[in-house]
Chains A and B, each alone.
Chain A
């Protein structure tokens, strides 16, 4: 009899237990973010643990999870890239198939563009036109960044990656042919008036990043391929004639450089090839000495802070724990570091 009474008591306890509310509010809501830079943390594929961090350069403080704190929803599955257009940030969330638009001053939700398959990058072409590349489609979406609608699709025959507007042309890298046909060793030139491919330049396998220097030359970095099929190479391209004026091959077939960026003066290039390297736009060969040695770190993305004049680099560590962002002076001395989210994949400045 007593045992049965005990049983009833246990059930009573369990019923109360189940009534207890979850306490999952870990991070309080934010006010304004101030000036500094965003760090877009990709998170792990299919785990939907991407996030957005912001480093305030006045307070020298990193705030993590700014998107969730403000909007109370997760950022999504693989936040691939972010671009700022005026007072708005456009966050391309690859495996969620959407672009979130936020107000950059507090990361609050301003809208979203849905209906993509595997979006990778956004590029603002005109006030009412932007291009969105897609890993799984042989073309580029045309979207209205104000109405937040997909307006059209440019058939390019292959998937595109990063895009850049130069001289009223859009340059698009063809980085992958995993899902789509066509060689992944080209730079396509898109006419933004007629929304069509105007030209194409053959480079090396997997062109992954590009920047424009102060003289108007386009620099493109190619990794050489997923399985190191070719030697990696850095190209300098004349954006008027579309001629490749310089090609610098990396020495080792296992070299797999990425993350080409340039300082605010447009004179010094930086990239990651396990270590961080730099060269000036006048150099005729690739640097042999590293700007910063990686050591135990696993560098993944790089940017140049135009105000603080610092090189900002992310370390993804082992890809499954929270990453780190490190700030280096222009002589390679470490100045500061901060913990960020999982796989910090892009650094975006907001001044």
Chain B
């Protein structure tokens, strides 16, 4: 009954919005007054720029929440604060490359990134890249690339920002930023701490008898600091040093079927990382040189202890696995404009990685090199073409030649419609666990090779009333030698180059921003359809060819609406995730499918500006309809819950 009431509230809210627009919108609007804080895409590029509206609105969240509610990327989550990985364009978790200030942060051992550990508060710009924009970076981004950047703010003076959140299930978040910018130097420090008991109630329908329970052993604490130093060296140079340090401690809850186990099980993962990047940019007439070196150290500690025996306190199971990964990454990029119609670039990348793990016989080492050269020619005012040639090789492996080609055109000069098409190849080297894990690691693995093509239609009309953008992308990619871990007759699992995966689909994006009277309205809408299937000979023999791969939804969409008037603001977020296969078994067997779910979140708040001080109070209701859903099979998710937040800014 309560759920129905909430549905009615949402319906009324939607009707109210429709009705309000009809009743109150004036006939003419002053477009010049609109400040565009972000754009859906960068004109004529295969890049989606996450709007500042999202970054500001989700500043207290993690990157997983932001991307799943503001882009076409699907996130698979074990629960609040739990492992969360991305599926981009139908690919798997280790096919999404994450760049932080142009430096990869994918773990060398796994190849994937846990998006729940990345605070939005530590980023200033978030981009989603595909096509040639993704190809010109390091390997791994077969699906695409998520780019996170910190931005220098010279001449910004003293800036201070503090925010405090508190919410249901013992969740707290504290955020602090202090910065100072002169004409030559910008220094900024950011710290955060998030924690939650996560003891939310859920109805456990995976055990007999079915009953209400509270989530156990799911608490987490993430804390970290980010330090930036940007220095303009003369008129042409920019030196930046950025250091990101973080400590994440989280306990691991049992799945719903296993809540009755004895043994006082204690299971957790603690990880800490230190990521540092030093970059130097030099601008000389039409030449830009970017040199950077990055060092990262990531330590992960997995612990499992169960007890038993006569006094029930004797350790009977102990797994104490430690993983230390280090990486030194360097790159130099030189871009030059040769006349008004031609630009070229050359880039050299090196990544030296090492991993020490209890389950490795010896330290896993790898050196990867990439040499990339390319250019862009503006053949006509309505047509340009880009070519990118990449040679990539890892230690003790023969190299691979990877071309990428892109054409951009404006078919009708009077209509702001861009059509961009690209085709090319990308490579992903196996993770070091794939190669060296004992038992099972397979040093003979080949890299995964992707051949892809896509077309993007981007329309940026100016209607006079509304500034809005449309995007429609169609893509197809084939990944050869897709790595799968398979059981062997020796009872351990082994990675093999088995699958031949075809991923295809389309994406829709819409973003609008306007003023209606004194109200400011912003809206973003995303939808993606994805079809990813294994067409290998093995899949045909196993009758799994043509079946959607596990945990990749066929449909995924989201909507974000924010209305602001005289300091009062309200926002509504909708997220839809379609059904997902969770096993490779036939569809007629129960629980091989996770059902679709829809989530609604609402927030209300008030902004107050007094001189240079800005105060903001916000009340958020998450999962308004108290929907029961799972992102990962038998991992419960919280129902309706609440957060209040207070933020202070001084500029």
Contacts and interface: CB of A to CB of B under 8 A. Distances in A.
A16 B11 CA distance: 8
A5 B523 CA distance: 12
Most B C-beta atoms less than 10 A away, residue of A76, A116, A256:
A76
Nearest to A159: B316
B257 A76 contact: yes
Contact of A22 (B516, B572, B596): B596
B414 interface: no
B260 A97 contact: yes
A184 B309 CA distance: 19
A14 B25 CA distance: 23
Contacts of B27: 1
Interface in B433-459: 439
Interface stretch (B169-177, B224-232, B366-374, B538-546): B538-546
Given A5-B22, A320-B584, A48 B257 contact: yes
Contacts, number: 210
Q: For this complex, into which size category does the number of interface residues on chain B fall?
A: 35 or more
Contacts of B256: 48
| Of A18, A71, A74, most B-chain CB atoms within 10 Å | A18
A325 B595 CA distance: 29
Contact of B600 (A10, A18, A22, A138): A18
A153 interface: yes
Interface in A131-168: 136-138, 153, 155
B542 A321 contact: yes
Contacts of A287: none
Interface stretch (A107-115, A193-201, A239-247, A305-313): A107-115
Contact of A322 (B7, B308, B310, B586): B586
B15 interface: yes
Contacts of A65: 589-590
A48 B206 contact: yes
Nearest to A343: B487
A341 B257 contact: no
A7 B561 contact: yes
A138 B258 CA distance: 21
Contact of B583 (A7, A9, A47, A71): A47
A252 to B, nearest CB: 13
Interface in A307-345: 317-322, 339, 341-342
A264 interface: no
A15 B11 contact: yes
Given A18-B7, A19-B7, A76-B257, A49 B592 contact: yes
Interface string A265-292: 0000000001000000000000000000
B263 A96 contact: no
A11 interface: yes
Given A3-B466, A74-B206, A318-B486, A51 B589 contact: yes
Nearest to B439: A227
B156 to A, nearest CB: 34
B187 to A, nearest CB: 42
B598 interface: yes
Contact of A77 (B7, B255, B516, B574): B255
A296 B541 contact: yes
Contacts of A100: 208
Interface in B443-495: 463, 465-466, 468, 486-487, 489-491
Interface string A109-135: 100101111000000000000000000
Given A48-B206, A179-B317, A317-B542, 12 more contacts: A12-B15, A16-B11, A49-B591, A74-B591, A76-B257, A115-B262, A117-B316, A256-B490, A296-B541, A321-B584, A321-B586, A322-B589
